[in-house]
């Protein structure tokens, strides 16, 4: 399958709308009591519904009025140097193709349900957005250092992709890799999984695997805490590289 490099809304077929609707309804069903209220608020902010695949032109207009993010379509996973440069400039790279009905539960690479449903709503949240952008700027400083990028990827993995947040004494999900996955959602809210308080030094020392359901999560107290951790990220990264 040739992956599109721009979203041509008229090209979506009936199966695409069925896939979006099926995934949306299934995830909302399991997320409603498990996901961050900030995400649910953001979902309303970006006007996502089960019966409509999001239109990137409409989203770009909406983000212009909130946190200034814009969407750039990519066919596959974006190379690291471009990805970090884009997020530092408030450009979110996203696929615009959807998995098939046969691929509902497992996909080897992210499709637009992960990119859009998982990532985009919280881009309208100021502190989350600021962390995302600042993280991209830090990564760009070390883009030619593969060891540093590997360590920074752990921060990204355990926050943006698989982060948990404490909200009103309840543990909630905010990571896109959990939000967009039925299996990861069930696993993340299971009391038996390993959960740790947010600790940059511990995260940097925590390798991860992309081919399994996660076995470790880190919990932030707020998106303000996440954004304010940028200085600590640089400090512990330099300490590790010394």
CATH number at residue 129: 1.10.800.10
Structural domain includes residue 53: yes
Structural domain includes residue 2: no
This prediction has a pTM of 0.94
Q: Does 1 score more than 90 pLDDT? A: no
3-state secondary structure of 233: helix
Structural domain includes residue 55: yes
What is the extent of the structural domain holding 218?
A: 9-241
Q: For residue 109, what pLDDT is reported?
A: 82
DSSP H helices, the chain, are: 14-31, 37-45, 56-65, 80-88, 112, 126-141, 146-156, 176-179, 182-188, 200-204, 223-228, 230-241
What is the domain count for the chain? Answer: 1
Q: How far apart are CA 206 and CA 4, in angstroms?
A: 35
Q: Does 108 score more than 80 pLDDT? A: no
Q: Does 181 score more than 70 pLDDT? A: yes
Structural domain includes residue 4: no
Structural domain includes residue 237: yes
Structural domain includes residue 3: no
Structural domain includes residue 199: yes
Interacting residues of 3 by C-beta distance below 8 A, sequence separation 6+: 75, 76, 95, 97
Structural domain includes residue 181: yes
Confidence of residue 147 (pLDDT cuts 50, 70, 90): very high
Please give the share of the chain, as a percent, with pLDDT higher than 70. Answer: 100
């Amino acid at each position: 399958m040739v992956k599109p490099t721009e979203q041509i809304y008229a090209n979506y077929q009936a199966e695409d709308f069925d896939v979006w609707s099926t995934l949306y309804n299934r995830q909302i069903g399991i997320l409603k009591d498990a996901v961050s209220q900030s995400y649910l608020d953001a979902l309303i902010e970006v006007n996502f519904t089960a019966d409509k695949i999001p239109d990137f032109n409409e989203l770009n207009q909406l983000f212009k009025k909130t946190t200034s993010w814009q969407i750039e379509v990519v066919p596959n996973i974006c190379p690291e140097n471009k990805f970090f440069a884009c997020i530092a400039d408030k450009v979110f790279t996203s696929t615009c193709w959807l998995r098939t009905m046969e691929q509902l539960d497992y996909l080897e690479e992210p499709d637009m349900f992960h990119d859009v449903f998982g990532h985009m709503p919280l881009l309208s949240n100021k502190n989350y957005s600021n962390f995302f952008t600042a993280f991209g700027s830090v990564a760009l400083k070390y883009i030619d250092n593969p060891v540093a990028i590997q360590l920074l990827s752990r921060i990204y993995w355990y926050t943006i992709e698989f982060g948990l947040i404490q909200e009103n004494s309840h543990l909630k999900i905010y990571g896109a890799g959990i939000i967009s996955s039925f299996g990861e959602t069930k696993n993340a809210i299971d009391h038996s999984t390993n959960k740790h308080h947010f600790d940059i030094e511990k995260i940097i020392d925590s390798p991860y695997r992309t081919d399994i359901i996660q076995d470790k999560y880190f919990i932030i107290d707020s998106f303000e805490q996440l954004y304010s951790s940028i200085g600590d990220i640089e400090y512990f990264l330099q300490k590790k590289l010394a």
